[in-house]
Amino acid sequence: MPLRRLALSTVLPLGLAACAAMPPSGPHSSRPDIVLVLPFAVPDRVVALDPSFGFSLRRGAPGVPQRRRAASVGRAAAFQLSLALTERLRAFGFDTARSAAVNGDPDRKTLIVTGFFDRIDEGRRRRVGAGPSEVAARFQVEYQAPGVPPRQLMTERLDSAQAPPPGAAIPASARRVADVNADARRLGAMIADAIADLARRENWLGPAQ
């Protein structure tokens, strides 16, 4: 079952939980006409808030409810990830669009990127050198072409705390302070790089860019 159908219910199939990247055995599909990036879902209880924020400056007044803060942090992380992912894929030469749903042209070859977060940690922004933020997500890449059934090309989990491979968009040295939005952008670029590796295996791209 495609991951995008599960994102709304935030249910992770056992098979996907144990699954790492699944590279295809060899080139067997033509370059997609467009890449659609769907919003990454934010399941309940995946956001870890910075406890030093969220208070009220007015004595006796309650701070922002944690549930509301967590929802806001999750929405911001999802936006930053999809923005960085889309921009990075365009840098690789793909016609890429963010979409709220799979509504592409049925006559075009389409690559669909879906996913959900399994960790969004704000870290400790008021503690210098301690409590770094972290964002992790699972994603799926599916290929759709006219007249053939959709085909899943890869699923993978990536974490902003991972050291990037050579040539990745953002070096590990860039991650020094707690900034969950920067981590989400970093993760989006990492996902795009993983998709670019898939594209090279499928002969959709030329030499490494």
- The lowest-confidence range among 58-62, 154-158, 203-207 is 58-62
Confidence of residue 50 (pLDDT cuts 50, 70, 90): confident
Q: Which residues of 59-93 are buried (b: 16+ CB within 10 A; e: fewer)?
A: eeeeeeeeeebbeebbeebbbbbbebbbebbeebe
Q: Is the pLDDT of residue 30 over 50?
A: yes
pLDDT of residue 167: 56
Q: Compute the distance between CA of residue 134 and CA of residue 184 in angstroms, rounded to an integer.
A: 8
CATH fold for domain 3-9+23-201? Rossmann fold (3.40.50)
pLDDT in tens, 130-177: 568 899 999 999 999 998 888 999 999 999 988 665 555 554 444 456
For the chain, the maximum distance between any two Cα atoms, rounded to a whole number of angstroms, is 64
The whole-number average pLDDT for the span 23-32 is 62
H-helix segments, the chain: 3-7, 14-17, 66-91, 180-201
Share of the chain above pLDDT 90, in %: 52
Higher pLDDT, residue 107 or 86: 86
As to burial, measured by CB atoms within 10 angstroms (0-12 exposed, 13-18 middle, 19+ buried), residue 115 is buried
Share of the chain above pLDDT 70, in %: 67
117 beta partners:
137
pLDDT of residue 165: 55
